[in-house]
Amino acid sequence: MPVLETQNLTHIFPDGTAAIQDISLRINAGEFIVIAGANGSGKTVFIRHLNGLLVPTSGRVLIDGEPIGKNITAARQKIGLIFQDSDSQIVGQTVAEDVAFGPENLNLPREEVERIVPEALAAVGLSDLAAQSPHTLSGGQKRKLAVAGILAMRPEIIIFDEPFTGLDYPGVVQVLRQIVQLHQAGHTIVVITHELEKVLAHADRLAIFCRGRLAENGAPENIVIRAENYGIRLPLRHGGTVGELTWLR
């Protein structure tokens, strides 16, 4: 049984924009999925349905076979979302306080919060910066902080919305290494990006969105050759293989 499944998901905004239409996608436990698509193809809108931030116009989202509406807090705890813009995701005045935000929302005992926060910071390698203001962090560090804030809630599935935008080469490598580590630790990973050359080698599956619809969905090596039809740069040179598509070495 898939951990996460959408059935005929459609979202039409009040202004009439059909941001996503009829999307059915299954995500299995432990999988690493890359979702690609041109600007405005509906990727962000889609993943915001996966933890109930947006309510679909029609269709539904199932978590472990149960409709998401049954226990929305449990869903949000289980499915961690890393936003495209880390700056709006950071709500703490210090790095440690920001990580504590989620556990405090869950009303965990203070002792437990004080145990979880250093663990989450250590997991992303930000322990030394715990007392700093998030404002002073680099782009890569901010994204790691967002990951720590999600890890502190012990999610099973972690979704990254464009985790590489605005990062320099070391920043991309840092974040990518983090993602791969999380996958190896047993998390189910969904990465949204159109920069396939940075990450596709690690993926089990590639899905491509086009104008709000799920256009392709399957093994990366079968799909990637058609990427250019959907406004995504073809990352392979002639004769190259998907295994080369990573910025980790």
Beta carbon nearer to another protein, 104 or 197: 104
Which range in 21-29, 38-46, 146-154, 217-225 contacts Mg ion by CB under 5 A? 38-46
Exactly one of 2, 40, 118, 231 binds ligand ATP (CB under 6 A); that residue is 40
Helix, strand or coil for residue 132? Answer: coil
Nearest alpha carbon to residue 46 among 230, 215, 221? 215
- The answer to the question of residue 49 lying near ligand ATP (CB under 6 A) is no
Beta carbon nearer to another protein, 39 or 88: 88
- The answer to the question of residue 92 lying near ligand ATP (CB under 6 A) is no
Site string for ligand ATP, 19-38 (x = CB under 6 A): x-----------------x-
Query: Which parts of the chain fold into alpha helices (H)?
Result: 43-50, 72-78, 86-89, 95-105, 110-124, 139-151, 169-184, 196-199, 220-223
Q: What is d(CA 189, CA 204) in angstroms, rounded to the nearest whole number?
A: 10
Q: How far apart are CB 157 and ligand ATP at their closest, in Å?
A: 19
Exactly one of 7, 10, 44, 127 binds Mg ion (CB under 5 A); that residue is 44
Beta carbon nearer to Mg ion, 32 or 160: 160
Nearest alpha carbon to residue 123 among 92, 144, 109, 138? 144
Sheet holding 18-27, edge to edge: 18-27, 4-12, 58-63, 66-67
* Interface positions with ligand ATP (CB under 6 A): 13, 15, 17, 19, 37, 39-45
